[in-house]
Homo-oligomer: A and B are copies of this chain.
Amino acid sequence: MGILPFVAELGLIDHHCHGVLRVDSTRPEFESLLLEADAVSPLGGSFFDSAIGFAVRRWCAPLLDLPRHAPAEEYLERRNSLHIAEVSRTFLMASGIHTFLVDGGFQPERLLSAEELAGLGGGVAHEIVRLEVLAETLRPSLSPSEFLVAVRSRLASSSAVGAKSVAAYRIGLGLSGVRPADADVERAVSAWSAGRLEDPVVITWLAWEALDAGLPLQFHVGYGDSDIDLHRCDPSLLTPFLRATAGLGVPVLLLHNYPFHRQAGYLAQVFPHVFCDLGLATHGLGHQASRVFAEALEIVPYGKFLFSSDAFALPELYYLGALLFRRALSDFLADGLRRDAFAEEDAHRIARLIASENAARVYEL
């Protein structure tokens, strides 16, 4: 049940994460940030009674000098008695992540910047540009034709190492397999003057532009908060888009994927530019992460799977994302070794690929 030594020592590239909160959290805030619900419900009881809740008490409590399984109230008291920067440093350092690819597009005002995050974690940070946020920021002050030029220019000159689309949240993943013509995009932009971008033509066009700029393109896939319609987040809905973009040679990365991780593995197998991960689910499943991690690795070539935490707001989620990833990867490899499915040196290579080498290759880090 322990972690194989060569897995415990792996340095990790977290290819998809967010910032951590600048301030302490009340218990209701903390509970709701543990998972994807907006708030705790009196109908359903405390979120500490969940896989992730128990994982916090089991694994995070000792890092704050509390016994394993310390009660939730005690944990939060202890946590709030420390400076939040100290808490964040503790969990970030313990994660063993040396490189953070940060999507800073969601609630940036509440969170540490990528730089600050990396500083606390003793690593380096790179930015992922969130396409819809970029578009929503640029739109109000520009004409449609200026908007197209500005988006292209910003992507071409971006210091980001990748782009991210939240099409799943806005229109679902059924993106067209046909590249939108500029005239159609301008028309769609005209009809959208400001506010939340929900136009399929514009959202699809952003994805193409990111690839044109040579930016590896991440898609939110699968579960998230109550904003999504889960059946529209099945990655196989992306097939026409993936078929159309395979020839560009720019990576497309399917994030999270649960409970469609098998579908994601299929796409990563058959399309040369497609990769996937199991972020969010890895810590969200707590002690059950290993089984689903093994499922996610059923048919995906090992050169096509990456580590990410998808941690957001709570530094505990970085630590748990990394720790439960290591345990799951270790369980997977130990099971393979026990079955004599591969040799020891193969297991080492698989581990390095998934922990950091695939990400370094994909993002040219």
A residues at B contact (CB < 8 Å): 1, 35-39, 41, 43-47, 49-51, 53-55, 57-58, 68-69, 223, 225-226, 228-231, 234, 236-237, 239-240, 243, 246, 249, 251, 258-259, 262-263, 266-273, 275, 281, 284-288, 291-292, 294-295, 297-304, 335-336, 338-343, 346, 349-350, 353, 358, 361-362
Contact = CB atoms under 8 A, between A and B. Distances in A.
Contacts of A299: 35, 50-51, 223, 258, 281, 284-285
B286 A353 contact: no
A197 to B, nearest CB: 20
A271 B39 CA distance: 9
Nearest to A338: B1
B231 A272 contact: no
B269 A36 contact: yes
B43 A361 contact: yes
Contacts of A258: 262, 299
B301 A336 contact: no
Given A45-B303, A53-B301, A57-B342, 12 more contacts: A1-B338, A36-B270, A41-B273, A43-B273, A43-B361, A50-B301, A54-B341, A55-B341, A226-B270, A231-B239, A258-B262, A291-B295
B291 A230 contact: no
Nearest to A272: B41
Cβ-closest 3 pairs across A and B? A45-B303, A41-B272, A287-B341
A85 to B, nearest CB: 29
7 contacts: A36-B266, A43-B251, A43-B273, A51-B298, A58-B341, A228-B239, A231-B234
Nearest to A225: B270
Nearest to A251: B43
B49 A301 contact: yes
Given A266-B259, A303-B49, A340 B272 contact: no
Nearest to A173: B231
Nearest to A249: B43
B272 A37 contact: yes
A319 to B, nearest CB: 16
Contacts of A339: 1, 287
A228 B38 CA distance: 33
Given A240-B229, A270-B226, A297 B301 contact: no
A271 B223 CA distance: 13
A334 to B, nearest CB: 12
A169 to B, nearest CB: 13
Contacts of A281: 299
Contacts of A343: 68-69
Nearest to A50: B301
B240 A236 contact: no
Nearest to A350: B49
B230 A302 contact: no
A166 B344 CA distance: 41
